[in-house]
Amino acid sequence: MLRARSSLSSLPFFAAVTLVALMLLVSAGCGFSAGTNTTADAADRSGEPADDGDSEQLDDGSDSTGAGSDDGTGAGTDDGTGAGTDNGTGAGTDDGTGAGTDDGTGAGTDDASGSDDGGADGTDEDTDDDGNAADDDASSDGDDTVQPPAPPADPAGPGSLSFTVLNESAAGLDTTIYLPDGSGPYPVVVLSHGFQLSPVDYVSYGEHLASWGYVALLPRFPGNFLSSPTHTELKESLAALLDWLDEGPAVLGGVADPTALALAGHSMGGKVSLLLATEDSRPDAVFAIDPVDSGPPGGGNPADYPSVAPELMSDITVPVVLVGETVNSVSGGLGPACAPDGENFQAYYSAATGPTMEVDVLGASHMSFLDNPFCLACLFCPSGSDDPMVTKSVTREFLTAFIESELRGESWPEAWLSGTELSALEANGLIVAQSKNGF
């Protein structure tokens, strides 16, 4: 059943006319950027954002704790504990404890218990970095103890892959494609934009996903403020895009793996992604960013604008993450609430019967998740008290951890989805999270 919703007719006549006039100005979307390689920002865990100025890659501003020192070149590796300092050359290896001295040449390896002989004769046999007796030399005689790989970087930061940005007509939709360089196969994420927005407002997400080794498809839906496809039509367009993906289009170079697929979306795009997941078995996971269940102002035909929460949520059996905010749950601007209470991410979570996680980004507004949260159409949603750069960083953090877990079967994301990293974000006052149904 379609619930009653706010209408433009509830506004005073002058305000309504002004509203329509303004929205006509933004009928093509509200992003100011005209390109597809805008600078993507991110923030460190302490909420002090930094951007490396490179539009192709993201810099998380620091390591995951802010305690260690990263050379910023990618040549060396920062241990992320703050105990040691990376020499920034990649030539030597610092064990990160500060107990020994790294000669920085690569000739010897610090054993963390005393002095490194610095030679190539393989005679340093004190105590290995892990506290066990072992040969910790730096020679090539093959008798070194193999150290376990370093833990993954904070998923809010960029991955290691370069990528190519393409613009293609896919199933009749103008689609921006972020294609990781390499042979793959790479899982796929389809990210759908919100009402009156466009892929240009989510560039940082596409870049981030590609750098982590995901083929990211950002379709642009047709329509404008006065005439747009219905939610049912948008769902069908999204399904057609998945059909196109299954056909293995040549533009993807054979590197996309459509059998490992996540749907993502913001606002209307989040609702349409969830709607498709109620009836299509191809998505393995759904990541919805402040999804809004309501139809157009004044309501609409339930067949054209079906309500997902609570009516259809039991049909979604794949894992779902719902990231959202409550600042715009009530009206406070020129029109109705942008993510009204009873129609927002909390309503989806309440009705979910499958494995689901809810993340409330404290102080964020409905538009804080955009690359340009101050676009013209964004002015209809009052700003929050958050730093939008931090909000986007946190959102990408959960997105990456979630799909790494669901599409690649990695275990390390548990720290962000249910463990210590999640607890740290809550302790820092950035989020409030909960999960249910075995998530």
Per-residue pLDDT band at 334 (split at 50, 70, 90):
low
Res. 29: pLDDT tops 50: no
Per-residue pLDDT band at 216 (split at 50, 70, 90):
very high
- Secondary structure of 94-116 in HEC code, one letter for each residue: CCCCCCCCCCCCCCCCCCCCCCC
Instruction: Single out the residue of 100, 138, 110 nearest to residue 122, CA to CA.
Output: 138
Q: What percent of the chain has pLDDT over 70?
A: 64
* Average of per-residue pLDDT across 348-360: 98
CA distances from 179 to 22, 80, 169, 245, 257 (A): 36, 29, 15, 13, 12
Q: How far apart are CA 266 and CA 279, in angstroms?
A: 20
Residue with the larger pLDDT of the pair 121 and 279:
279
Geometric angle at alpha carbon 412, from 74 and 319, rounded to 5°: 120
Instruction: Single out the residue of 5, 1, 20, 3 nearest to residue 298, CA to CA.
Output: 5
Instruction: Single out the residue of 321, 326, 348 nearest to residue 339, CA to CA.
Output: 326
Cα-flanking dihedrals φ and ψ of residue 134, to 5°? -165, 160
Instruction: Single out the residue of 202, 430, 187 nearest to residue 323, CA to CA.
Output: 430
Domain 8-23+40-47+155-436 in CATH 3.90.550.10: no
Q: Which residue has 């000669």 as its token pair?
A: 103
pLDDT tens digits for range 283-298? 999 999 999 998 876 6
Instruction: Single out the residue of 284, 277, 187, 188 nearest to residue 239, CA to CA.
Output: 277
Q: What percent of the chain has pLDDT over 90?
A: 57
Per-residue pLDDT band at 341 (split at 50, 70, 90):
very high
Q: How far apart are CA 188 and CA 249, in angstroms?
A: 13
Residue with the larger pLDDT of the pair 315 and 225:
315
pLDDT of residue 47: 36
- What is the residue extent of each domain of the chain? 8-23+40-47+155-436, 65-152
Residue 426 burial class via C-beta count within 10 angstroms: exposed 0-12, middle 13-18, buried 19 and up: middle
pLDDT tens digits for range 264-281? 999 999 999 999 999 999
Per-residue pLDDT band at 333 (split at 50, 70, 90):
low
pLDDT tens digits for range 9-26? 333 333 343 444 444 333
Q: How far apart are CA 433 and CA 52, in angstroms?
A: 30
Give the torsion sign (CA, 245, 247, 252, 258): positive
pLDDT tens digits for range 51-101? 433 333 333 333 333 333 343 333 444 443 344 344 333 444 444 444 444
Q: How far apart are CA 85 and CA 96, in angstroms?
A: 7
Task: Indicate the Cα dihedral angle 352, 353, 357, 361, nearest 10°.
Answer: 20
pLDDT of residue 374: 83
pLDDT of residue 78: 41
What the block records as the tokens of 291 is 């999804």
Tell me, what DSSP letter sits at residue 258? Answer: E
pLDDT tens digits for range 125-147? 333 444 443 334 434 444 445 44
Res. 36: pLDDT tops 60: no
Per-residue pLDDT band at 114 (split at 50, 70, 90):
very low
Residue 132 burial class via C-beta count within 10 angstroms: exposed 0-12, middle 13-18, buried 19 and up: exposed
pLDDT of residue 409: 95
Cα 166 to its chain centre, rounded Å, is: 20
Geometric angle at alpha carbon 335, from 329 and 341, rounded to 5°: 15
Bond prior to 151 in cis (omega within 30° of 0): no
pLDDT of residue 15: 39
* Average of per-residue pLDDT across 147-172: 84
* Average of per-residue pLDDT across 308-327: 97
pLDDT of residue 31: 33
CA distances from 264 to 191, 322, 400 (A): 4, 10, 11
CA distances from 155 to 55, 56, 259 (A): 18, 17, 23
Per-residue pLDDT band at 228 (split at 50, 70, 90):
confident
